[in-house]
């Protein structure tokens, strides 16, 4: 028997509002509800969760504010299509980029670990010490040669569905771009000499020049992921074409 909530959606063991939101967000981020899918109408959610219209409206407003759904007057709510945008550098899907060059793409997951945020995680993601983090390391290949080494942190408080994805078969960047809308991104680009670990993974001589791209993405002010991509220097070029800003 389901527990009946009060008008604010409160339950003795937590808020019904948070449980409903977690359920709906899980369906969106897992792909069960793809972009364009119509979210059940308010009265359907009220019946399904045995709750008030106030609770349902609070959940839908929160999902809309997070960029996961769009609410259309008289039409209902729909899963929002991920927004790909950047002022100068776009966020590219490495898999699609390599395949688009008519090169054979391969991917290798080196490690995947769930942990409580350590000091470095808290600084990188701007989260508290009890937040769950998914730490991933992987390699991308083009025509069987290492193309990039990826080191990524995913904020599981922002993307709880990330913990259920099998990243042994799907690159994290590909999954994130396809399922998680973002509202802001920041790139830091630098050069580095390959240390022993980088040289081994990228199959270059220790001390070789590498291009390092560090990117942080946010959704409605909450950090979603931080990634460090390391490319062998001669194999990657950054090109940005833009017009003068209007004054």
**Mean local confidence (pLDDT), 50-58:** 91
The answer to whether residue 13 scores a pLDDT higher than 50 is: no
Q: Point out which residues pair with 104 in neighbouring strands.
A: none
pLDDT digits (tens, 9 = 90+) for 132-181: 999 999 999 999 999 999 999 999 998 888 888 999 999 999 999 888 88
pLDDT digits (tens, 9 = 90+) for 95-104: 988 988 889 9
Residue appearing with tokens 């991104």:
185
* Residue 74, pLDDT score: 80
Strands laid side by side in the 38-39 sheet? 38-39, 76-79, 69-72
pLDDT digits (tens, 9 = 90+) for 201-234: 999 999 999 999 999 999 878 899 999 999 998 7
Instruction: Give the rounded distance of the alpha carbon of 149 from its chain centre.
Output: 18
How many angstroms separate the CA atoms of 49 and 247, rounded?
Answer: 52
* Residue 240, pLDDT score: 62
What is the DSSP code string of 210-232?
A: EEEEEEEEEETTEEEEEEEEEEE
Closest CA to 135 of 155, 119, 164, 165: 155
Closest CA to 17 of 28, 6, 33, 26: 6
Rg (CA), the chain: 21
The three-class DSSP label of residue 151 is strand
Predicted TM-score of the model (pTM): 0.68
Domains and CATH numbers, the chain: 10-79 (1.10.10.10), 94-235 (3.40.1410.10)
């Amino acid at each position: 028997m389901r527990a009946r909530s009060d008008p604010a959606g409160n339950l003795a063991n937590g808020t019904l509002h948070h449980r409903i939101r977690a359920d709906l967000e899980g369906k969106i981020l897992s792909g069960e509800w793809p972009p364009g899918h119509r979210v059940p109408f308010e009265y359907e959610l009220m019946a399904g969760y045995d709750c008030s219209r106030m609770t349902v409206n609070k959940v839908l407003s929160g999902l809309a504010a997070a960029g996961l759904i769009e609410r259309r007057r008289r039409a209902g709510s729909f899963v929002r299509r991920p927004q790909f945008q950047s002022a100068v550098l776009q966020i590219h899907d490495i898999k699609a980029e390599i395949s688009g060059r008519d090169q054979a793409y391969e991917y290798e997951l080196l490690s995947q670990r769930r942990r409580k945020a350590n000091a470095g995680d808290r600084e990188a993601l701007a989260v508290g010490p009890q937040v769950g983090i998914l730490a991933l390391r992987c390699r991308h290949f083009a025509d069987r040669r290492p193309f990039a080494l990826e080191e990524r942190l995913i904020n599981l408080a922002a993307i709880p569905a990330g913990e259920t994805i099998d990243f042994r078969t799907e690159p994290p960047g590909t999954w994130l771009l396809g399922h998680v809308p973002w509202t802001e991104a920041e790139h830091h680009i630098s050069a580095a000499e390959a240390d022993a670990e980088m040289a081994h993974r990228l199959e270059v001589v220790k001390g070789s020049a590498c291009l390092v791209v560090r990117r942080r993405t946010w959704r409605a002010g909450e950090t979603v992921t931080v990634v460090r991509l390391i490319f062998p220097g001669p194999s990657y070029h950054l090109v940005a074409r833009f017009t003068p800003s209007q004054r």
